[in-house]
Amino acid sequence: MALMREIREFPVPRNAIALWWLGQSGYIFKSQEGTLTSVDMYLTDSCNGLQPGIDLSRKVPVLIPPEELDVDIYTCTHNHQDHTDPFTIRGLRNKDTAQFVGPHPSCEVFRAQGVESGRIVPAWPARRLEFRDVSMTGAFALPTDDTDLNHMGFVYEFGGGPKIYVTGDTDFSELLFSVEKQKPDIVITVINGGFNNLSHWEAADVCGRIKPKLAIPCHYDMFPDNSVDPKQFRATLSLRAPGVSYQELVHGKPYVFWK
């Protein structure tokens, strides 16, 4: 069965959340009521050849083609192409049914790719937004270079179910610890260390301060020249964040977390 259909039909138990990883920082979250929220969908090979001398060809297959993606809330953490991909957005067939949420530069891309203004909602750190049974609060992120200075993370809350903090691409800052106040159950964190992102060591320190139940590494799998072994994060997590469980997701396979 096509993955999008599988996700639409997947039953989510009470007080739980189901997650699917599509590669890099791309996830689909399904709430108990069936609302689908995506973050940082990269469903093309558009980064291939973007930076001469760096191999950014796609390693993970496209598990859902853009025209099949059918989510209720489409969120982006910042305007780099592996997070706000204009080619993915251009190819979406459900532009008229989803809400599009992201910092202003991502909103500009939504608009340029044919999303109508009424469906675009700007987000920024500390702004709280609600759609159906999903609420999301913008979190601080430190830009990784001067090509985009509007990075952010999100803390998603699914009804009374679990809370998930997605770091987005971010350099290290103690301000990342401020998410501790929101008590997320899961932290999904970059670990690649390249291009000024958190290293596995810094990511483990962030988890040690925020103290989620579970940490999921991301952004290490997509590009040949920006890959690391997530087991390094598993090791540092056990040293720097004892008590936080480690979970590696398998691309395209559901993972259910109970609060």
In the complex, which residues of this chain contact Fe ion (CB under 5 A)?
82, 169
Tokens standing for residue 163: 């809370």
CA dist 134 and 149 (Å) reads 27
- Closest separation between CB of residue 167 and Fe ion, Å? 11
- Closest separation between CB of residue 169 and Fe ion, Å? 4
Nearer to Fe ion, 35 or 79 (CB): 79
- Closest separation between CB of residue 226 and Fe ion, Å? 8
Which single residue is written with the structure tokens 């993970």? Answer: 60
CA dist 26 and 28 (Å) reads 7
Nearer to Fe ion, 50 or 256 (CB): 50
Q: Compute the C-alpha angle 248/210/79, nearest 5°.
A: 70
- Closest separation between CB of residue 41 and Fe ion, Å? 13
- Closest separation between CB of residue 14 and Fe ion, Å? 34
Nearer to Fe ion, 82 or 202 (CB): 82
- DSSP of 182-251: G--SEEEEE-B-GGGPPBHHHHHHHHHHH--SEEEEESSSS-GGG---THHHHHHHHHHSTT-EE-PPPT
Nearer to Fe ion, 82 or 221 (CB): 82
Nearer to Fe ion, 161 or 168 (CB): 168
Write the CB contacts of 53 (distance below 8 Å, at least 6 apart in sequence).
Answer: none
3-state secondary structure of 181: helix
Nearer to Fe ion, 73 or 190 (CB): 190
3-state secondary structure of 149: coil
- Closest separation between CB of residue 48 and Fe ion, Å? 14
CA dist 89 and 242 (Å) reads 39
